[in-house]
Amino acid sequence: MKIVLWIAAEQTREKEKLSKKLLKLEKEIDGLKVKLEVGKLLGNEDDTALQGQIKKI
């Protein structure tokens, strides 16, 4: 029975860790999208690097 509780606790910790990582990646993607939009508004044609970063994530 203890092993089942340990596995459940381990899964919960892993889920929390992955949720934090996902949130961080979502924030990074949002930041890159903002930079891309600003570049478009300013007429910056060199936004392919940002597009590449967004696709990579």
Q: Output the pTM of the full model.
A: 0.64
Q: Which residues of 39-54 are buried (b: 16+ CB within 10 A; e: fewer)?
A: beeeeeeebeebeeee
What is the pLDDT at residue 28?
92
| pLDDT digit string (tens) for the chain, length 57 residues | 899 999 999 999 999 999 999 999 999 999 988 988 887 777 765 566 667 777 776
H helices of 1-57, where? 2-41, 48-56
3-state secondary structure of 53: helix
What is the pLDDT at residue 8?
94
Rounded Cα gap, residues 50 and 36, in angstroms? 6
What is the pLDDT at residue 47?
61
What is the pLDDT at residue 39?
77
